Amino acid sequence: MHQSSLSELEMERYARHIIMREIGGPGQHRLKNARVLVIGAGGLGSPLLQYLAAAGVGTIDIVDHDTVSLSNLQRQVIHGTPDIGMSKVASAAKALERINPHVNVIGHDVQCTNLNVEQLVASSNIVIDGSDNFSTRYLVSDTCYQLGKPLVTAALGVFDASLTTIRAHETGPNGKKNPTYRCLFPTPPPPGTIPACSEAGVLGALAGMMGSMMAIEVIRQIVGFGEGLVGRLLMVDVLDMRFETITYEWDPNNILNGSGR
């Protein structure tokens, strides 16, 4: 990939990153030269997109086919009252231009389906899934494995949430295959067993917290510092303000790359 240099304005903008030992100039260059795909410009995507743009991620593809509604604004903070009725990708792109004009934002006002998912995923260095339905999560995670792309994925409940990173196309330090999303969740739950946020509700600030944590994980994956969440599921319960991390491994019975494949 062509390495773009940082301008004087960018050097000043990212100064607090550049003085960090873990990021520095080389890490900031990696962020600038990265291209990420963000699925969803809603509750998780809102803070995620803002912090990725502020951090200087060079190219951000946004996929969302929805429009901004009044009930979104309680948690989808990238959008504002004047944006009601606007497509979410257009509203998000407008906000990111205000935050950082050095970032190239590409909007895809489409639903992610099996007809376009490979084309969307193929051009990115890393994929971030902030979608709100199981069919999209499985479609995106399966495609990331098939195309060899890392995936950062999170899910929101009413007061609970989870976050992990999938690099199923690679092996871990122990020489074993990294787990797939299907090693963690083999199949989606039966329809109707988990209510949508429109039925159950969701704490708005929880979406903000998890989207920000997704941004941190993406930055760590791009720059390469800290212990990533590959094989680890971070679970958050804000009703009692508890954080827990569980480990999970490659399942030889998983349908993507199990022993029978």
Annotated active-site residue 183? The verdict is: no
| Average pLDDT of span 181-208 | 81
Examine residue 253 and state whether it is found in any structural domain, yes or no.
Answer: no
Q: Is the pLDDT of residue 198 over 70?
A: no
| CATH number reported for the structural domain that contains residue 135 in this entry | 3.40.50.720
Q: What percent of the chain has pLDDT over 90?
A: 85
Those residues whose C-beta lies under 8 Å from the C-beta of residue 105, and which sit 6 or more positions away, are: 53, 59, 60, 62, 92, 93, 96, 97
Long-range Cβ contacts of 248-251 (<8 Å, 24+ apart): 248/179, 248/183, 248/184, 249/176, 249/179, 249/183, 250/176, 250/177, 250/178, 250/179, 250/180, 250/183, 251/179, 251/180, 251/182, 251/183, 251/186
Query: How many whole angstroms separate alpha carbon 33 and alpha carbon 151?
Result: 18
Examine residue 2 and state whether it is found in any structural domain, yes or no.
Answer: no
Q: Which of 112, 144, 183, 197 is catalytic?
A: 197
Query: By C-alpha distance, which of 187, 32, 37 is closest to 122?
Result: 37
pLDDT at 190: 73
The DSSP secondary-structure symbol of 73 reads G
Examine residue 261 and state whether it is found in any structural domain, yes or no.
Answer: no
Q: 174: pLDDT confidence band, cut at 50, 70 and 90? A: confident
| Average pLDDT of span 90-106 | 98
Total count of domains within the chain:
1
| CB-count burial class (<10 Å; 0-12, 13-18, 19+) for 176 | exposed
Query: By C-alpha distance, which of 5, 50, 9 is closest to 25?
Result: 5
Query: How many whole angstroms separate alpha carbon 2 and alpha carbon 77?
Result: 34
To 10 degrees, the CA torsion angle through 250, 232, 64, 135? 40
- Sole residue written with tokens 């998890």: 210
Examine residue 259 and state whether it is found in any structural domain, yes or no.
Answer: no
pLDDT at 187: 84
pLDDT at 260: 64
Give pLDDT tens digits for 17-29: 999 999 999 999 9
Examine residue 122 and state whether it is found in any structural domain, yes or no.
Answer: yes
pLDDT at 1: 41
**Using N-to-C axis directions, what is the helix angle for 204-223 and 24-32, rounded to 10°?**
110
Examine residue 61 and state whether it is found in any structural domain, yes or no.
Answer: yes
Query: How many whole angstroms separate alpha carbon 53 and alpha carbon 31?
Result: 10
Contact 178, 170 (CB under 8 A): yes
Lowest mean pLDDT among 1-15, 45-59, 139-153, 208-222: 1-15
Average pLDDT over all residues of the chain: 93
Q: What is the extent of the structural domain holding 117?
A: 8-247
Q: 71: pLDDT confidence band, cut at 50, 70 and 90? A: very high
